[in-house]
């Protein structure tokens, strides 16, 4: 297996498929790089070099006690990019991974980056505050923490329903897709999973978004029950200069892994990458 070494010595696993302009994917919580496999294959099949890493704390990466916050996640992403000496990169981040991409650009700039895609992404801020009344109240995130601590196995099984929209009438989400979600989630250490909730809910990425100076696609389902579009994509698209906002009617948070929506996203991703 291939690894990059983070600043604190943590080993960050990555997969590296194909050849061509690099497309680097950052996954959502509480998953792993495997969640991006269909898109990795898509891009590698179409002449791109597709790279994705497991966030520290889970999957095949190290599980350190510290560093489970967005500054370090962004620096870990930088370690992967620099280890492979990638340039002209297209960054793609889903959910927490979208926050990771955003903080990477805020901390490391765009000298190695050509484009960015934020899918169902957490920026600018998920938490409800006086300045961000559209956000979710703290008790939502306290509930996530309690679920992780009390019975994370059952919690992840339950969470897969709103994540994929399997709790909606007429849903075609398979049981296998939900079990896959559980399997990935259970590879994440409880400390990393717990700490990441604070990272993705309380980190304000407003100023990071303002530094974007590259073509940016912001994609979001309007039935996202995990990261509501009103507090995320709609605001981010106003903060990123010349961003393109793509809304998928009826789509859930994990739309890239649900066939009826994934085909549309995949086509948009490929078109954006080639454009």
Q: Which of 27, 53, 220, 253 is catalytic?
A: 253
Active site residue 224: yes
Active site residue 108: no
The DSSP bridge pattern shows strands 113-119 and 21-26 to be: unpaired
Q: Which of 26, 61, 79, 95 is catalytic?
A: 95
What are the start-end ranges of the E strands in the chain? 2-5, 11-18, 21-26, 48-53, 89-94, 113-119, 216-221, 244-248
Q: Which of 220, 224, 232, 237 is catalytic?
A: 224
Q: How far apart, in Å, are the Cα atoms of 127 and each of 131, 142, 171, 236, 270?
A: 10, 11, 28, 15, 32
**Burial code of 119-153, b = ≥16 C-beta within 10 A, e = fewer?**
bbbbbbbbbbeeebeebbeeeebeebeebbeeebe
Active site residue 232: no
Q: How far apart, in Å, are the Cα atoms of 33 and each of 8, 52, 92, 113, 251?
A: 21, 5, 12, 20, 21
The three-state secondary structure class of 146 is helix
Question: Catalytic site residues?
Answer: 95, 224, 253
């Amino acid at each position: 297996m291939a690894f990059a070494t983070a600043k604190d010595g943590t080993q960050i696993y990555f997969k590296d498929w194909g050849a061509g302009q690099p497309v680097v994917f950052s996954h959502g919580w509480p998953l792993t790089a495997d969640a991006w496999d269909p898109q990795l294959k898509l891009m590698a099949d179409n002449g791109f070099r597709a790279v994705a890493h497991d966030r520290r704390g889970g999957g095949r990466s190290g599980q350190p006690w510290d560093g489970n916050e967005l500054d370090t996640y962004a620096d870990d992403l930088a370690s992967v990019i620099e280890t492979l000496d990638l340039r002209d990169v297209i960054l793609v981040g889903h959910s927490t991974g979208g926050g990771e991409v955003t903080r990477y650009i805020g901390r490391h700039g765009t000298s190695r980056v050509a484009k960015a895609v934020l899918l169902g992404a957490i920026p600018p801020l998920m938490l409800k505050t006086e300045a961000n009344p559209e956000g979710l109240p703290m008790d939502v995130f306290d509930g996530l923490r309690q679920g992780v601590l009390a019975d994370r196995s059952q919690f992840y099984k339950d969470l897969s329903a709103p994540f994929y929209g399997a709790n909606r009438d007429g849903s075609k989400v398979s049981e296998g897709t939900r079990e896959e979600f559980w399997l990935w989630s259970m590879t994440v250490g409880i400390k990393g999973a717990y700490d990441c909730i604070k990272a993705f809910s309380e980190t304000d990425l407003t100023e990071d978004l303002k530094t974007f100076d590259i073509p940016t696609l912001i994609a979001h389902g309007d039935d996202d029950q995990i990261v509501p579009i009103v507090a995320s994509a709609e605001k981010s698209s106003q903060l990123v200069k010349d961003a393109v906002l793509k809304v998928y009617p009826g789509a859930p948070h994990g739309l890239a892994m649900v066939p009826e929506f994934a085909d549309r996203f995949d086509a948009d991703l490929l078109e954006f990458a080639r454009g």
